[in-house]
Amino acid sequence: MLKSIPNYIKYIFTNIFFLFLFSLVFRMIFYTFFSQLDEAQTIEIQKAFWLGVRFDIKISVIAFFPLASLILIVNYRFFKNKTYKKIAVLYLVLVYLVLTLFYLFDFGYYDYLNIRLDASSLRFLDDIKISSQVLIESYPIYKGLLGLLILCFLIFIFSKFIFIYFSSQKKTISKKLKAIYFIGTILLMSYGIYNSITHYPLRWSQAFFSKNNAVNQFALNPVLYFFDSFAFRSEGVDINKLNTYYPVIARHLDLPKDKISFERKTAFDSTFTKKPNLVIIMMESVGVKPMSYYGNPINSTPYMDSIIKRSLNFSNFFVHKAGTAASVFASVTGLPDIDDVKTASRNPMVINQRIIFDQFEGYEKLYFLGGSANWANIRGIFQSNIKGLKIFEEGSYEIEDRADVWGIDDYDLFKESDKELYKLHKKGKPFVAYIQTATNHMPFTVPDKKENYKPLTNSEISSELLEKSGFKSIAQLNALRYLDFNIQRFLDRSKESGYYKNTIFAFFGDHNTAMKRTDLFSKEYDLEIQPHHVPFFIHAPNFVKNTTINTNGKLADIFPTLASIARVNHTNYTLGDNLMDSISSNKNISFVYLKINGEPSVGLLKDSLYYSRTNVTKTNGLYNLNEKEVKDYKSIYPEITKQMDSLLNAYYHATKYLYFNNKKLVE
């Protein structure tokens, strides 16, 4: 029977089969090296695998469909024309190359963020130079390029071989049979794309069937998921929704009830005779889970542990969105980053904002980072909103020993920052400084030795302990230990320079590093909010008491809180609040923006409760973080669910409104 099938039909399905095998190989590579399914149930892994096979069949058919259409039109003449041969071989080489690039980028993206490649990854193209350097310094890119060339050559030879193998058409067939094979092939390929016997086709959302996100991620095909995720795009301001929920946010933030206004003035009866300095330190990729202070079994952060014990610590502090650019934007503007695809910092329409950082009158204002401020348009966020700001970046420092793509390492960054702060201190000028660290980021570049810091070796940490800690590698652990060392060294320098006693030091993590699931904070991992839970502590022995506050806090609260501690009169136009204000302390919440089952979503945390809702399908849930089991309580506590949903909507739509309605007045 097979002999009676025309060769051009065999050629179509043979190529689809090999494309499927090609995708399947990459699925097995992902399973072996990236999937982190050690704790997953076997039955769920099997289900995810077979779902993945269906996704792989779908992408294989889609990838070959254009060439198959041509073949069905010209049928047996396809093998008689050399032009068709060139088209087929070139097309297949390109298809295999594109698929390979997608899979390889997906491996790196998942290794970094624990999610498969999606449309939001395009934000890295905005900083193509930096992104390219990260790839070069983190992965064997040049060997990879050589490998791609070899792959293209092999595919070229293989495609020619298949073409020649099926090129001998011994007999022609009738028009009726051609029509039957044409329709039959179209139907089979259509079914391969539809891939379902139900009323609905195979969709990416079917991959998210498990409470274990690693299982769901394993089921996805990154090529299909990348294009499917384009459905989730940023939306504009919905003024009707804002009017509906403004009364809710007005009650929560003590805003005017009779008009839409987020303006809150804070004036102090007395201020400090000598203005205190402020130093805000953004700690790259630091969450609570990798810190020994919060129970990590490895003594990963001994210096920070000691500092926290002598500081005002906020144990339930969450960033709005897991990403460095998003956290810089939110910490400076006081507005969450809720952009679906890129980051708010890259949107020229929302850069202009009235912020508290700009209201420190009589202060020198500085921004330090090891690389370039052009990254993610961060320069625009700072310079367009802060008068008199001085930016120190690569090319600005006396001594520059570039460590990697992120510029000078944290040791030199803190050292050079201290030099500038010392100059201002000697001149009697108070300052507000924002220092953005980067060494605790891939490619995790640390020195072989720096003063009393020395990286650990594989022999010094057992594989069992590393697994229990959640760290993915010794390199990841060493980068955190290096940051920990540099923070203590910076405080030591500030004492030597003389400005320590009159300075308020604020430390916060921009997001958690990608870690494996462990018993520590496992509920947050399962609900996908672990990347948002970060440390925030204020070290200022002369200005704050050493204590831990367990109520919720959010990134937008940083400047309202610090301005109040420093007794700086200011007007707050943002969604941030003073975490120290006893009047609103019972209202403290955390607002997060994340992806749930691949869909853009928002969440609200208050005390032990976490409420989440997806933006498109409106799927919601209420969870108790103090319980080990992930159980949805929305049907049990409908009133609490309703209240938290209203406040969540209020924060979301207020953020959208303020993006475009919090502009600085023209002077």
Residues in the annotated binding site for Mn(2+) = 284, 324, 510-511
CA atoms of 417 and 415, how far apart (whole Å): 5
- The single residue listed with the structure tokens 């890119």 is 141
Nearest partner of 494 among 277, 311, 300, judged by Cα: 277
Positions at the binding site:
284, 324, 441, 510-511
Encode burial over 9-48: b for 16+ CB neighbours within 10 A, e otherwise. bebbbebbebbbebbbebbeebeeebbbbeebeeebbebb
CA atoms of 611 and 642, how far apart (whole Å): 10
Helix (H, G, I), strand (E, B) or coil at 160: helix
Contacts of 124 (CB under 8 A, 6+ apart): 131
Active-site residues, by number, are: 324
Contact 105, 117 (CB under 8 A): yes
CA atoms of 650 and 591, how far apart (whole Å): 11
Contact 552, 588 (CB under 8 A): yes
Contact 205, 85 (CB under 8 A): no
CA atoms of 502 and 301, how far apart (whole Å): 25
- The single residue listed with the structure tokens 């695809």 is 341
CA atoms of 508 and 223, how far apart (whole Å): 35
Tokens linked to 159 = 């495609």
- The single residue listed with the structure tokens 């973080």 is 625
Helix (H, G, I), strand (E, B) or coil at 601: strand
Report the amino acid identity of residue 236: G
- The single residue listed with the structure tokens 């329409």 is 349
Cα first-last separation, the chain: 83
Positions at the binding site for substrate:
441
